[in-house]
Chains A and B, each alone.
Chain A
Amino acid sequence: MTFNYKTLALSVTAITAIGVAGLALAEYPEDTITYIIPFDPGGESDVTARFQEPVLEEVLGVSVNVTHRPGGGGAVAWSEFQNSAEPDGYEIIGVNIPHIIGQPIQRNDAGYTTDDWRIVTFFHSTPNALIVSDDSPYDTLEDLIEDAKENPEAITLGGSGTYSANHLDMLRFEQEADIDLTYIPFSGTGPLKGALEGGHIAGIFNYTMLGTEMADSVKVLAVAAEERVKALPDAPTFKEQGYDIVGGAYRGVAVPKDTPDDVVATLEEAFAEANRQITERQEPLGFVMEYITGDEVDEVMAMLREAYGPILEEAE
Chain B
Amino acid sequence: MDMLLEALTSLLTFESMLTVLIGVSAGLFIGAMPGLTATMALAMLLPFTFSMEALQGLIALGAVYMGSIYGGAFTAILINTPGTPSSIATTFDGYPMARQGRAYEALAAATIASVVGGIVGVIFLLILAPPLARLAVAFGPSEMFWVAMLGLTLVASLSSDSLLKGLLGGCIGILLSTIGVSPVGGESRFTFGYPPLQGGIELIVALIGLFVIPELLTMSAEGRGALPDGGELRKKEVSIAKIARRIFSKPANLIRSCLIGQVIAIIPGAGGNVTSLVAYNEARRFSKEPKSFGKGNVDGVVASESSNNVMVAGSMVPLLTLGIPGAPPDAIILGVLLMHGLRPGLDLFTQSGVLTNGFILSMGLAALMLLPVGLLGGRVIHRVVIRTPYYFLVPSIAMVTILGTFALRNSMLDVGIMLLLGTAGYFLRLIGIQAAPIVLGLILGGIAEQGYVQTLMAAVVDPIPWLRLVRNPLSMVLAGLVVLGAATALVPMWLARKGLLDKVDDNDSGGSS
Residues of A participating in the B interface, judged by any CB pair closer than 8 Å: 40-43, 46, 67-73, 75-76, 79-80, 106-112, 151-154, 156, 161-164, 182-188, 190-191, 193-195, 197-201
Give min CB distance, A278 to chain B, whole Å: 19
Binds A, one of B67-75, B299-307, B337-345: B337-345
Contact check, A70 vs B409: say whether CB atoms are below 8 A apart. yes
Rounded to whole Å, the gap between the CB of A194 and the closest CB of chain B is 5
Chain B, Cβ-Cβ closest to A43: B341
Stretch from B185-193, B380-388, B477-485 that touches the partner = B185-193
Known interface pairs A71-B409, A200-B140; A185-B184 also in contact (CB < 8 Å) = yes
Q: How many A-B contacts at CB < 8 Å in the complex?
A: 121
CA distance A39 to B338 in the complex (A): 12
CB distance B139 to A68 under 8 Å? no
Question: Does B37 sit within 8 A of A, measured CB to CB?
Answer: no
Contact yes or no, A46 B198, CB < 8 A? no
Q: Are B458 and A156 in contact (CB under 8 A)?
A: yes
Q: How many Å from the CB of A212 to the closest CB on chain B? A: 14
Residues of B within 8 A of A195 (CB): 137, 140-141
Given contacts A152-B461, A194-B346, 19 further A-B pairs with CB under 8 A are A40-B338, A42-B341, A71-B196, A71-B200, A71-B409, A73-B198, A76-B195, A79-B195, A79-B198, A107-B198, A111-B196, A111-B198, A112-B195, A156-B457, A162-B185, A164-B186, A185-B186, A198-B137, A198-B139
Report which residue of A42, A46, A72, A107 has the largest number of chain B beta carbons within 10 angstroms of its beta carbon.
A72
**Taking A111-B196, A194-B345, A198-B139 as contacts, is the C-beta distance between A72 and B409 under 8 angstroms?**
no
On whether A109 and B409 interact (CB within 8 A), knowing A41-B341, A72-B181, A200-B141, the answer reads no
The reply to whether the CB of B347 lies closer than 8 angstroms to some CB of chain A is yes
Of the A-B pairs whose beta carbons lie under 8 Å apart in the complex, a sample of 10, sorted by A's number, is A70-B199, A71-B196, A73-B181, A107-B198, A109-B188, A110-B188, A161-B186, A183-B457, A187-B450, A197-B137
Nearest chain-B residue to A83 (Cβ)? B195
B183 at the interface (CB under 8 A from A): yes
The interface residues of chain A lying within 8 Å CB-to-CB of B460 are: 153, 182
Question: Which residue of A41, A75, A182, A190 contacts B457 across the interface (Cβ within 8 Å)?
Answer: A182
Please determine whether A72 and B198 come into contact, CB atoms closer than 8 angstroms: yes
- Where the two chains meet, the residues of B that have a C-beta atom closer than 8 Å to any C-beta of A are 136-141, 180-181, 183-188, 191, 193-196, 198-200, 202, 338-343, 345-347, 409-411, 450, 454, 457-458, 460-461
B143 CB to nearest chain A CB (Å): 9
Query: In the complex, what's the smallest C-beta–C-beta distance from A203 to chain B, in angstroms?
Result: 12
Report A124 CB to chain B, min CB distance, Å.
19
Interface contact A110-B458, CB-CB below 8 Å: no
> What's the least CB distance linking A109 to chain B, in Å?
5
Q: Is the CB of B341 within 8 A of A162?
A: no
Looking at A42, A154, A200, which has the most chain B CB atoms within 10 Å of its CB? A200
- Give CA–CA (A67, B409) in the complex, Å: 9
Chain A residue at minimum C-beta to C-beta distance from B188: A107
In contact, A201 and B458 (Cβ under 8 angstroms): yes
**Alpha-carbon distance between A212 and B188 when the two chains are bound, in angstroms:** 33
How far apart sit A156 and B185, CA to CA, in the bound complex (Å)? 16
- Measured between beta carbons, the chain B residues less than 8 angstroms from A76 are 195-196, 198-199
| Choice from A72, A200, A201 contacting B180 with Cβ under 8 Å | A72
Instruction: Output the nearest chain A residue to B191 by Cβ-Cβ distance.
Output: A109
A38 to B, closest residue via Cβ? B199
- Asked if B341 contacts A40 (CB within 8 A), the reply is yes
Given A40-B338, A153-B460, A195-B140, does the pair A162, B186 have CB atoms closer than 8 Å? yes
Query: Chain B nearest CB: distance from A242 CB in Å?
Result: 27
Q: Given contacts A79-B196, A153-B461, A182-B457, are A106 and B181 in contact (CB under 8 A)?
A: no
Residues of A within 8 A of B345 (CB): 190-191, 194
Nearest Cβ distance between residue B352 and chain A, in whole angstroms?
10
Partner of B198, one of A75, A156, A164: A75
Q: How far is the CA of A109 from the CA of B193 in the complex (A)?
A: 6
Residues of A with C-beta under 8 A to B138: 198
In Å, the complex CA distance between A153 and B199 comes to 32
CA distance A46 to B339 in the complex (A): 12
Give Cα A80–Cα B343 distance, bound, in whole angstroms: 28
CB distance from B452 to the nearest CB of A (A): 12
- Which chain A positions have C-beta within 8 A of B340? 41-42
